Structure 1
Amino acid sequence: MTKRLILIRHTKSSWDDPLLPDRERPLNKRGKHAAESLGGWLASRGYLPDEVICSDARRTQETWERIAPALATAPEPRLTDRLYEANSDTMLAVLRHATGDTVLMLGHNPGLAEFAHRLVARAPLEPEFQRYPTGATLVAEFEIGDWSEAAPGMAAALDFVVPRQLED
């Protein structure tokens, strides 16, 4: 059996209010547009999640809210504080409790980039994969029957994109 993971770093956030707590930072205009573009890209390739696990930070929630309208079916996200400032091990632990066949996880760097690098057996050739900038999206498949079996190095990278590549 195959399980698919869509791993997204939130899009560009606003730094307009330096007094705003980090967890409360919203997306900026560029981030909003990038998230909408990612939604279109996911839909055009048939990458449709049946489960969404999202950091409870405002910018990750807003990223999902901008992606979701482009998808034929958009499940309600499961918000968790465990993905905020999470390291790779924590992200893997969260993923191992997923129940969907196609899971979308939305989180933050540096943990998300580390997680992506650890999961794939072979990294995508795209140079931006190393940096995993805002909005970076990896689509990977695992030959497993249950997410509890997921482990580092088991995933095959199917696709990778950064919002800049989707600009008109």
Structure 2
Amino acid sequence: MTAENTRRLILIRHGKSEWSDVDDHERPLAAKGRKDAPAAGKWLAATGITPGTALCSTALRCRETWKLAAAELPQRPPTRFEDRLYDASLGELTALLNETSDEVTDLVVVSHNPGLHALADALAGDGEDGPLAQMRRGGFPSASVAVLTFDGPWKSLENGSGHLTHFWSPTA
């Protein structure tokens, strides 16, 4: 990968949410989610990963997760709240990422499972070592973070085109 063409995709699953009588889209974070979301942001800051742009699901639990995680970063990136991230499939997530401007080199996406786990797994392709093995063993728990790199424009992002460089989970 050449530095000028390398893209970094940071996937954050929303923190643990409360199960209540409200509409699924409006479920807030539970106490555990309010604790784990800032920890995800601290982990990103400690690793030196600083996203330049953020896409966040419009679901309340995602917005709350991002607010708490972003508060721990040295600088909060511009954020776009995206309806299409809510309940998005692997194909829908990939199509949305393919729309990203090539001016963006480091993108964070705050969204939901099972889509995020499927996306990280599909982009990372084959292999069973390191972060990929950790993610495949433990799944993609609430407030987890996967960091993938790939070479080329966003429109070329497809299954197997990335490399999972980091995986962090509050349960690890």
Question: TM-score, normalised on structure 1?
Answer: 0.91
SS in 1 for 2:18: coil
Runs of 4+ in structure 1 off by over 6 angstroms are none
Q: In the superposition, relative to structure 1, how do residues 31 and 118 fare at CA in structure 2: closer, same or farther (>3 Å)?
A: same
Map Cα deviations across residues 95-128 of structure 1 (whole Å, 9 max, x no partner).
1122310000111111111111111123512155
Correspondence for 1:94 among 79, 93, 96:
96
* 1:61 aligned partner: 63
**Which position in structure 1 is the counterpart of 2:123?**
119
Identity over aligned pairs, percent: 35
* Whole-Å separation in 1 of the counterparts to 2:109 and 2:171: 20
Secondary structure in structure 2 of the residue aligned to 1:125: helix
SS in 2 for 1:3: strand
Please tell me the root mean square deviation across aligned C-alpha atoms, in Å.
1.4
Normalised TM-score (structure 2)? 0.89
Question: CA shift at 1:64, angstroms?
Answer: 0.3
The 10-residue stretch of structure 1 (124-133 or 92-101) with the greater mean CA deviation from structure 2: 124-133
1:164 deviation in Å? 2.0
Say which of 132, 137, 142 aligns to 1:134.
142
Contact 1:128 1:162 (8 Å CA) reproduced: no
Residue of structure 1 in register with 2:159 after alignment: 152
Q: Where do residues 66-85 of structure 1 align in structure 2 (5 Å cutoff)?
A: 66-85=68-87
2:14 partner letter: H
Partner of 1:113, secondary structure, is: helix
Q: 1:91 to 1:130 in 2, by over 3 A?
A: farther
| Count of residue pairs brought into register by the alignment | 162
Cα displacement string for residues 28-55 of structure 1 (whole angstroms, at most 9, x for unaligned residues): 1110110000000000001110010111
